[in-house]
Each structure stands twice: as C-alpha cells, then as structure tokens.
C-alpha cells in the first residue's frame, strides 16, 4: 500500500498544539496494514465495530482511521512536524 497524497485536516487538533493531516492511500486499509502500524507505537484496534477503528499512539504523534477507508489521519505535535515525511516514507517502504 502506497501513500498517494497528504492534505491538511480541517479537524481542530491545533487547539492543543497539534497539527493533523489526512494521509491518502492507493488502496483501502485492510487488517494487515493496521496490524503493521504497530511499529509506530501502541495500537488500539476495535475490529468488532461496524467499521473497525484503529489508533496508533506515540508521544509525539498519533495515527487513526477506519478499516475499509483509503485514508487515515495523522496528528502530530507542532514541534515534530518533520516526522510526517518519515512516517510517509516508512509506509511507502
């Protein structure tokens, strides 16, 4: 799965000093992709939901999204914005 785009999210994470981006993928997110995100931090996965939800948290950023969607949200602390590109590159392998 590859990242094909990145847009600034309208969500108001900035209220707490965080910036958010929607990371667009070339395929819908599947379970394997979600489980592989563990490498970025602690994973919360709720597979029983009608649309399964996941969240990966580290101290300076978090990723969250839904299985079956071609995008996820990446929120990052304003002091660590440079990590956005590292995460994108990591996902692209």
Partner 1 sequence: MIYLNQAATSYPKPQRVQIAHAASLSAPPVGQYRSSLTAEKDIFDTCRENLGKLFGIEKDSRIFFASGATEASNVLIHGMDFLQKHVVTTATEHNSILRPLLNRKEGKKYTTIVGCDGKGRVDPKEIEKGIKEDTKAVFLNHCSNVTGMIQDVEAISRIAHEKGVLLILDASQSAGCIPINVDEWGVDGLIFTGHKSLFGSQGMGGYYLREEIALKPLLYGGTGLDSSRIIYYEPPYEYEVGTQNTPGIIALNEGVSYVLERGIENIKIKEQGLLREIYERLAIIEEITLYGSHQTNKGPVLSFNINGLNPSDVAYILQNGYNIVIRAGLHCAPLIHQYIGSEAKGTCRVSISDLTTEDDVEAFLSAIKDIVRSMG
Residue 61 contacts partner 1 per CB under 8 A: no
Stretch that binds partner 1, among 26-34, 35-43, 65-73, 78-86 (CB under 8 A): 65-73
Whether the Cβ atoms of residue 34 and residue 63 lie closer than 8 Å to each other: no
Specify which residues 71 forms β-bridges with.
24
Residue 10 contacts partner 1 per CB under 8 A: no
Residue 53 contacts partner 1 per CB under 8 A: yes
Q: Which residues bind partner 1 (CB under 8 A)?
A: 11-13, 15-16, 44, 46-51, 53, 55, 64-66, 69, 73
């Amino acid at each position: 799965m590859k990242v094909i785009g990145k847009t600034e999210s309208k969500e108001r994470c900035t209220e707490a000093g965080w910036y958010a981006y929607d990371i667009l993928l070339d395929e819908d997110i599947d379970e394997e992709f979600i489980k592989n995100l563990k490498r970025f931090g602690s994973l919360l996965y709720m597979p029983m939901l009608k649309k399964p939800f996941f969240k990966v948290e580290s101290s300076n950023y978090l990723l969250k999204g839904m299985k079956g969607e071609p995008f996820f949200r990446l929120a990052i602390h304003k002091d660590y914005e440079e990590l956005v590109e590292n995460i994108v590159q990591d996902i692209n392998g």
